[in-house]
Structures are given as C-alpha cells and as structure tokens.
A and B are shown apart, each in its own frame.
Chain A
Amino acid sequence: MTRLALLRRARSMLILGLAVRNLFRNTRRTVITSGAVVFGVALQVLGWGLVDGLDDNFLRAVSTTTTGDILLRPPEYPTDGLSYPLEEAAAPPALTGFSGEAASRVLFSARVVHKADAARAVGVAYDPDQDYRVFPRERWRVQGVWPDAGQSQVALGDALGRLLGVGVGDEVVVQARTVDGAQNALSYTITALVHTDNGQLDNTAVWLRMDAADALLQLQGRRTHLSLHVGTLEDAAVVRDRLQAAGAFTGPDGKLWDAKTTREEAADMLAINDIRRRAILMLVGVIMAIAATGIANTVIMAAYERVREIGTLLALGMKRRDVSLLFLTEGAMLGLGAGSVGAAIGTAGVLYWQFNGIVLGEETMKATGNLPVSAIIYTHFNWGPVIGSLVFSALVAIFASVQPARFASRLNPADAVRAD
C-alpha cells in the first residue's frame, strides 16, 4: 500500500471514529431523531412483505384451484370471471406437443336448492383422473369423500354448505341450463364439504364429476376451461408462447383457444397490489421527509454546538472537506443505523408472518366476497425493499446533512476556536 493510500485510509478511519463518537454524544437526541427513520423503514419492509405476500396469496389461491399455470378458454368465452356462458363451451384442443399435466373443466352458472333454501352457485365439473394432477388437493380440507363415478353425488364449497345449512349426506337439487339452453334440474347427495382456501370456490362451488355434469348439462364433449401445469409460474409465459406458436391451442373446430398465464389472469388483482405498494411508498416518503427534517435539525444543532470543536479540528490541520465529510458521515451513519434497526424490525415481522401466516378472520373473509383469496396470508421476504430502504434512509440522512456540513466546513478557524 502506498503512503498516500495509507494516509487516506488513516483519514477515513479517523473520520469514522469521530463520527461514531459524536453520534453517541447525545444519545437521547440521536434515538429520538432515529425514531422516524426506524418507523419509516420498518413500515416499508413490513408493508412490502405484506403486499408481496398478498400477491403470492392470490397467485397461489388461483393457480392451485382454478387456473393452473396456464388457463385456456374457448375463443369467445368471457375472461372477466363473472359469467360462465355454457353456450361458448367447445371441444378442447389436443395440446399436441405438450408433455405436462392438463385438466379440463366445465364451469357453469347454477342454483342449488335445499328444501326451501336456494343459493346461486358456480358449478365446477371436473375430470377426476386429470384434475388432481394440475390442482394438488393435499392442502384442501375435505369433510367427507369426493363423489363416486356414476353416482348422483356432489361436493359443495364449505361456505356454501354453511349458507344452505347442509352437510354430508343431505340432498340438494342443482338447477342449470344445458349446453343447448334448456333448463335442467337434478337431485344429488352431498358427499363432501370442500375447503380449498380459495374463497371464491369455497363460497360458491358445486363440485361434480364430469360424468355427473354430462347428465345435467348435456355437454357433448365440450369444455369451458383447460388448465395446464408446466412447473414454475415463471416458465408459464415461455411455454404458452411456444405451444401457441406450435398450434397446440387450436381446437378441433380450427379455432384458437385463448391462453393466459396465472400472472396474466391475476393482472387486475396484482395491479391493485401495485397501488398498495405506491401508497406505502407515499406514506414512507412522508415519514422519511419528517425524518429528514429531524436529521437536518439534529445535525444543524450538532454543528452549531460544536463550532469551537470544529475550529480546533481545523486548527489542528483537518481539511475543510474532511470536516464536511465528518458531518455527512454522521448523517449517513444516523440514517444507516436507524435504517438498519427499522429494516431488522420489519424483516423480523416479515419472517415471522412468512412462517406463521396471518389468519384472516371470518369477517374479513366475508368482506373479500367472492375474490379468490386465501384465508391465510403469508408475508413474503425479499431483499429488495430491505436494501432499497437502507439506501433510501442513508441518502435521506446525507441529504439532510449537506447544509450543516457546508456550514461547518466554511467556518473561519480563527473565530471558531474562540466560540462559546
């Protein structure tokens, strides 16, 4: 190491050492000033973890129960998820060239009647040989057993069952229109109440095997949904594009089925979460602005209180830029220190809820209506907001220290050494 480099290192160490000592000169003031930064950074890390967790929650809820990794619908079928026009059902494409798992379903508007009670429902007709391969059911809670082949049996979403006041073994009538538009109604025995952790299904679903649905709807081989499991969500768009280009999504009638990845399906909900992120950023921005004012105030007070000390440092030969650097370092350390505490608190919260989850109460779940939201939200930790908020808090603190640092470095040492 050259002499110049040694001198620079020694100077940096001197400035760092002095800055650390100065920060603890008035511990109470430092702690109070740090409070806003700690709160702002903790809020950002925690808020971000929660919103990322909401993204995960929503994507998990839909991908494991309704969409798979890629969801295909007939060409004219609405994609708003609010209506289920059976007349748009069509024979599904053969998925030539696709080697993953696929499951076809028929979703239809239905009415479930039990004695004098009735409720609107969404029928979910599934092929049991395919369905569990795309929608693993290990985490679903099933009270009873799934319907058997060739039997007039259904399973109900557990919340729908509670709404109708029915249980396993009870009889219900399911009313629906056939593919051709005729009204039909058949009686079924309830074999299970199903909790999928997707509020939309649990509130509204009537689960029928495809053979039972055929009898009710006269499907004639038509389907409304085809879900593909391709591995990770990230692979989905690539696989979709490749298969689409290869013609795998073209039905026997020559029409191309519409294919969307889970992320595209969830775009509206994810966009809402982006709004939440922006709201958090704005809130954090306001808190950090308050923090910046506090830091500026603290560093300005430190500069005015230490005029004689600064004069002494200058008299002893400290360079003006080093005096400036000393104050900027103090500000940066204050910001980084407080930011680190905030990030640690936020991270601890995110990690705790990442493993334990936040259980949404029954009232909250009711408030989510028929949105596909899981009853447990697991926060999602990632380093981005932690590093981002640390850098942000350090920058805010440095910015707030610029003016005091300039004041300190411009003092006339002759006057400053005699200051009171």
Chain B
Amino acid sequence: MSSAPAVDSQLLCQLEDVKKSYPMGDLLVQALKGVSVGITAGEFTAFAGPSGSGKSTILNLIGCLDRPSSGRVLLEGKDVATLGDAELGDLRARRIGFIFQSFNLIPVLTAYENVELALRLAGAPEKGQREVVQEALRSVGLADYMTRRPAQLSGGQQQRVAIARALVKKPALIIADEPTANLDSKNGAAILDLMKTMNAENRTTFLFSTHDAMVMERARRIIRLADGEIVSDDAAGPAAAGA
C-alpha cells in the first residue's frame, strides 16, 4: 500500500512512486515497490518496520545518499535525480544531517573536530566557527569532553557528538538511522529526548528508521513499511496523540 503525499505548503521532501532495486548475485531485489510519501518541515517521523522492509532505503534516498531506480525524490522542490554527485554532496553538506546507528565518528578526530568537520565540509566561514561548535557540544551536554577522541567516549556520548555534528550546520533535515540501536535504554531515551528538544526548539525535521518501541512512542508520525511498501502512515503517532 502507498500512502498519498502529505498535503502541506511546507513540504520539505516528497517521494513520488519511488522504486529501488538492488542486484544481489543474479537476482534483482526490489527494496522499494513504488512508494509515495511527503514530509513536512518540522516533522519528527519514524519509518518503522522489520529488517528488509525498506526503511533504510527510503532514508538513503531522502538523504541523497542513493538514487531511485524510478520515480521522483524531491527535496525542497529539487528532483535529486537531476543533480550530479557534486551537487548532491553540497546538498548533504548544507541541508542534511546524519545520525547513524554506529555513530560513525571519525576516530582520529576529537569530539570538537568531529563536529567542526561538518561545518568545514558545509563551507561555513571560519570566523565564529569555534563558538558555534562549542555551543553545539554544550547543547548536547559534552562541554567537558571536547578534546576527547571517540574511543575515549561512551556509546551515549559518541551518539551525542553525532547529534551535535548533525545539528551544528543547522540543516533542514536530520536523518537518523536506528539511532538508539547500539545504546542501552537509559542512554537511548536520553538521546531521543535530546533530539525531540532540538526538534521543538529549532523546528529541525527528524526522520528515523527504527524498530525500537521507544522511538515510536516519541515519534509524532509513524510510517510503517513491509516488503518495500508503506503499509500504514500514522500521521498522529502516540506522541502526537499524547501532545
């Protein structure tokens, strides 16, 4: 089942009949089978579903990490299929933040440098960079850990650095792929609450892929996938309902 695109004048991202297939050996695996969905600015949305349902593939496409086999992916009105590698890179650098399941920090850089890296790749002016990076780390509670390398930080702290890295450039969209999967429940909840605060304070759009009930509890919208198709789109998730 494919849901209709969200009707909103502030549509940040739109997928129109998007299909994605991967070669696997001699087979062609259909990861997405014609998905259409719209994401409005400021959403806190979870893509949920079992492994292989296509939730990571959707995030890859929205995050401009991959291109659809057919259909259109529009980000801020731009069809990403028409953009070259360099333009996609620019788009990712300036408009999209990523939070990964395994944190994906650069091990040879300190917490400060990891966050700064995102700003430098976004081409932010050097002037004032230090204050912005320090503020980002302060906002995730790591003011005292700036000079530590990832190996010297706990999993929860690493994910906080990743959040600061994603937020520091003030992107329109943050894509979080199973952000709590490698954290214990206490750290996971804290990370989610932090992201929710950022979402509320900055109106930054958060998209998650997850099968963690804790994430789904906090999401305002849950889009469920199975076998490459959207099977439900709960625009008013438990969090929204409770709000």
Contacts and interface: CB of A to CB of B under 8 A. Distances in A.
A414 B67 CA distance: 10
Contact of A14 (B91, B101, B102, B120): B120
Given A308-B102, A413-B65, A417-B100, A316 B93 contact: yes
Contacts of B139: none
A315 B102 contact: no
B165 to A, nearest CB: 8
Nearest to A323: B89
B65 to A, nearest CB: 4
A318 B117 CA distance: 10
A315 B123 CA distance: 15
B107 A317 contact: no
A6 B126 CA distance: 9
A22 B66 CA distance: 27
B85 interface: yes
B118 A316 contact: yes
A250 B126 CA distance: 78
Interface string B23-60: 00000000000000000000000000000000010001
Contact of B98 (A7, A21, A24, A316): A316
Interface in B56-79: 56, 60, 63, 65-66
B65 A10 contact: no
B109 A21 contact: yes
Contacts of B94: 317
Counting chain B residues whose Cβ lies within 8 A of the other chain, the interface size class is 20 to 34
Interface of B: 56, 60, 63, 65-66, 85-86, 89-94, 98, 100-102, 104-109, 117-118, 120-123, 125-126, 165, 177
Contact of A317 (B60, B90, B105): B90
B98 A315 contact: yes
B108 A18 contact: yes
A319 B100 contact: no
Nearest to A320: B85
Interface string A1-18: 000001100110010001
A271 B242 CA distance: 93
A21 B113 CA distance: 12
Nearest to A308: B104
A317 B93 contact: yes
A311 B63 CA distance: 13
A309 interface: yes
Given A414-B65, A417-B98, A417-B104, A10 B126 contact: yes
Given A309-B104, A317-B89, 7 more contacts: A6-B125, A11-B120, A308-B102, A316-B117, A316-B121, A317-B118, A318-B93
A414 B60 contact: yes
Contacts of A313: 106, 121
Contact of B66 (A18, A25, A414): A414
Contact of B89 (A6, A10, A312, A319): A319
A380 B51 CA distance: 70
B120 A10 contact: yes
A302 to B, nearest CB: 11
A203 to B, nearest CB: 64
Interface in A375-420: 412-414, 417-418
Nearest to A409: B85
A308 B117 CA distance: 16
Nearest to B100: A417
Nearest to B118: A316
Contacts of B93: 316-318
Contact of B122 (A18, A309, A317, A414): A317
Q: Which A-B residue pairs are the 5 nearest by beta carbons?
A: A317-B93, A21-B108, A414-B65, A414-B60, A414-B66
Nearest to B20: A414
Identify which of A308, A313, A320, A418 gathers the most chain B CB atoms within 10 Å of its CB. Answer: A418
Contacts of A11: 120
A312 B117 CA distance: 11
Contacts of A311: 104
